[in-house]
Amino acid sequence: MTVTVTIPMALPSAGNMREHPMARHRRIKAQRQAVSINFMLDATDAKLGEAVVGHRPAEHYHGTVRFLRSPLAVTLTRIAPRKLDDDNLAFAFKGIRDEVAAYFGVDDADPRLTWRYAQERGKACVRIEFDVVTAESDIDVMRRWFEESGNAEFWRNVPCIECELGRTCLKSPPCAGAEVEP
């Protein structure tokens, strides 16, 4: 399943800009606000579904907080008249990457988010694509990362998307209470 959000904004080559720190702050803040507003207007949570994005009550205020239930591959595509080299492309997306991760309530270094960058020629805009990771090899990579970082118990307590949908669990060892093929 792929969910696409397109944001009409120009994304400059930030690595080559010589700007005052406050000007940089304002530019990144505007990018982050554009991403947040477009996610709300586009109903990104509803499109991804409850199997991917969960909600829990907030601790310090009335409302809910989003959290990831399964891993996502996020492709950030810059559409502009001219192309950038790959290191400038990643740097240009830094504010947008931070906001996408914050939207899901995680850090951008979280292993449940895999980042990809692309660019195309055309009228200036940014396209963000979310792909649900369900391949067994990707899940095994995540399990190994959690075990190596000392968070194996956390990994066992997070249900995978297959369990949420009532299908056979892909995790090894399986989720608590999951159906396992004989």
Q: By the 8 A CB rule, do 111 and 139 touch?
A: no
pLDDT at 145: 74
In the chain (182 residues long), the average pLDDT of successive 10-residue segments reads: 86 82 89 86 73 68 70 91 88 90 86 90 92 66 74 68 66 59 50
CA distance 87 to 116: 12
**How crowded is residue 164: how many other Cβ atoms within 10 Å of its Cβ?**
16
pLDDT at 116: 93
**How crowded is residue 44: how many other Cβ atoms within 10 Å of its Cβ?**
21
How open is the CA angle 35-38-39, to the nearest 5 degrees?
A: 85
Residues of the chain with CATH 3.30.1330: 2-132
pLDDT at 76: 94
The answer, yes or no, to whether the previous bond of 81 is cis (omega within 30 of 0) is no
pLDDT at 78: 93
The pTM of the whole model exceeds 0.85:
no
Q: Kindly report, residue by residue over 82-124, the tens digit of the pLDDT.
A: 988 888 888 889 999 999 988 888 888 888 888 999 999 999 9
Architecture of domain 2-132: 2-Layer Sandwich (3.30)
Residues in a beta bridge with 72: 113, 132
pLDDT at 179: 53
| Closest residue by Cα to residue 110 from 161, 145, 140, 144 | 145
Residue 126, classed as helix, strand or coil, is: strand
One DSSP character per residue, 41-76 reads HTTHHHHH-TTTEEEEE-SSSSSEEEEESS-EEEEE
pLDDT at 134: 65
pLDDT at 122: 92
